[in-house]
């Protein structure tokens, strides 16, 4: 089975990518592949951040590398938290603080429409770039529902499933998620 290095240390993200691509690739985190550094996400779009991560790790390891940058875009907040989804409340990766701040910022709002967006980039060691894009729509709930998934999953009610991603099984979520759709879009270009 061919190895696919993913420029991420996010366990939830790695688990999802493995579930989506594990039938074709042995998914390996950048750390397990030998990249121990941090990659600063300085882009203003999901695509730019995915490209920065994929290129940095690929060039360091001289390997093909897949990167995903994804997040939540809330309509009434002008697309926020967007590329700052993981650090929305100021503490990078503190999912609970991020969810609490989002719920607070939407207090009293009738429009709770949102979408998860994912941009994936496969950066090949020869410099070739293949990308994919996906999104999934829903609404932000007023309180957490379920404990599955990670990030904003338990406050995002999926239009496709009719329940929060926090209540959905991995299999259910991975059939409609933004990351699944982005990876399918990328695979169609391979």
Q: What percent of the chain has pLDDT over 70?
A: 100
- What are 10-34's pLDDT values in tens digits? 888 899 999 888 888 999 999 999 9
- 119 φ, ψ (degrees, to nearest 5): -120, 125
Closest CA to 182 of 63, 64, 50, 84: 50
Of the pLDDT bands very low, low, confident and very high (cuts 50, 70, 90), residue 138 is very high
Is the confidence at residue 120, as pLDDT, over 90?
yes
* Res. 190: pLDDT tops 90: no
CA 127 to chain centre: 23
Residue 63 and residue 22: Cα distance in Å, rounded?
Answer: 18
Annotated active-site residue 69? The verdict is yes
Domains, the chain, with CATH or none: 2-187 (3.90.950.10)
93-99: long-range contacts at Cβ-Cβ below 8 A with a sequence spacing of 24 or more?
93/10, 95/150, 95/151, 95/152, 98/151, 98/152, 99/144, 99/152, 99/154, 99/155
pLDDT at residue 91, as a whole number: 87
- The catalytically annotated residue of 64, 69, 95, 153 is 69
pLDDT value at position 93?
82
Average pLDDT of the chain to the nearest whole number: 95
pLDDT digits (tens, 9 = 90+) for 43-93: 999 999 999 999 999 999 999 999 999 999 999 999 999 999 999 999 888
pTM of the entire predicted model: 0.93
Residue 131: its pLDDT value, please? Answer: 98
């Amino acid at each position: 089975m061919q190895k696919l290095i993913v420029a991420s240390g996010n366990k939830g993200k790695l688990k999802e990518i493995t579930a989506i691509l594990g039938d074709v690739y042995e998914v390996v985190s950048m750390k397990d592949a030998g990249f121990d550094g941090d990659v600063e996400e300085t882009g203003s779009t999901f695509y730019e951040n995915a490209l920065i991560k994929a290129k940095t790790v690929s060039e360091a390891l001289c390997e093909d590398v897949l990167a995903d940058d994804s997040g939540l875009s809330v309509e009434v907040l002008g697309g926020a938290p967007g590329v700052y989804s993981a650090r929305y409340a100021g503490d990078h990766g503190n999912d609970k603080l991020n969810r609490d701040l989002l719920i607070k910022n939407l207090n009293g709002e009738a429009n709770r429409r949102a979408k998860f967006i994912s941009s994936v980039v496969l950066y090949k060691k020869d410099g070739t770039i293949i990308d994919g894009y996906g999104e999934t729509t829903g609404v932000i709930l007023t309180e957490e529902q379920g404990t599955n998934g990670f990030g904003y999953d338990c406050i995002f009610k999926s239009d496709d499933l009719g329940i929060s991603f926090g209540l959905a099984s991995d299999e259910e979520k991975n059939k409609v998620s933004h990351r699944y759709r982005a990876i399918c879009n990328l695979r169609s270009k391979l």
